[in-house]
Amino acid sequence: MAALLLSLLSMFLAATSARIRDSKPFNRTELSEAGVARDIFILAGQSNMAGRGGVAGGKWDGKVPPECRPDPSILRLSAGLGWEEAHEPLHADIDVGKTCGVGPGMAFANAVRASGWGVGVVGLVPCAVGGTKISQWAKGTSLYAELVSRATESVSGGGTIRAILWYQGESDTVSREDAEAYKGNMEKLIMDLRTDLNNPFLLIIQVALASGEGKYIEMVREAQLGINLPNVECEDAKGLNLEADKLHLTTMSQVHLGQELARAFLITRHSSQPSVLEQAVAHPHNSKHFFVLFLVSTIGYFVIW
């Protein structure tokens, strides 16, 4: 009896996993009020995520490359928590008190949609704040609370958070103590965010530094490249062109980075779907997932019996 049930379970999981693996990564099951799927991405970190492309002398040149053009199907969550058509500078009302320019977000969103994988509205949630250390993003801080609050609000009307794009660390290169603590702080931040956003498999795509404010750039880069948590990817920005301040990426470097982040997302999304059982554990109230858990529990009972 137990052998038969185990055989049936194996066949069911294999068939279901195949359907998930072969399906497109985006779906229409979670809808916005407008009736269009919304695929949501959190943009967090410090100034190079907020965008300083085209900024010089405290002024932005206003130049928007075609890769960063607005699109009615690309939205941003404003500081007032309303969805609006996204345009550069994405962080103008978030990273306040500073001059924002071009960042990687719009190039990323346009590249995702151009790939043919996106079937709905892409929602960008800007959260980055310039000049911040990773310790300022730890759970219990105002920046952490704001990120979680904005991320939670972004899915209140439907949609799914697909990934967090993280570019930060320049401010942690000044002190050796900060640089040495970076890896542990980043790993804890990832685990805390996954817990508080109720998504244990949430994809994190971080950027390894291209520059820094101090002399411990390589130490922070090694920490970023050395993180080995599941579903955490790292794009290396080293070698990208910098503005005259030798700290911030140029507009075209931001375009390149955004496209590379999109490539990393699409590759990861295609190749590493959570297993059926993982999805069942993460979302037990879903009827299909409940059935999987029920089946596993039933077989476990008969095997033990």
Is position 47 annotated as part of the catalytic site?
yes
The catalytic position among 47, 73, 154, 253 is 47
Handedness of CA 100, 104, 107, 108 (dihedral sign): negative
Nearest CA-CA partner of 65 in 23, 103, 115, 34: 103
Q: What share of the chain is helix, strand, coil (3-state, %, to 5)?
A: 45, 15, 40
C-alpha–C-alpha distance, residues 31 and 26, integer Å = 12
Catalytic residue among 7, 10, 149, 245: 245
Which is the catalytic residue, given 73, 171, 178, 248?
248
Residues 6+ apart with CB under 8 A from 85: 70, 71, 72, 74, 75, 76
The helix/strand/coil state of 50 is: helix
For residue 56, report the phi and psi dihedrals to the nearest 5 degrees. Answer: -150, 135
DSSP symbol at 173: G
Tokens coding 74? 């690309």
Task: Specify whether 245 is catalytic.
Answer: yes
Q: Is 248 a catalytic residue?
A: yes
Instruction: Give catalytic residue positions.
Output: 47, 245, 248
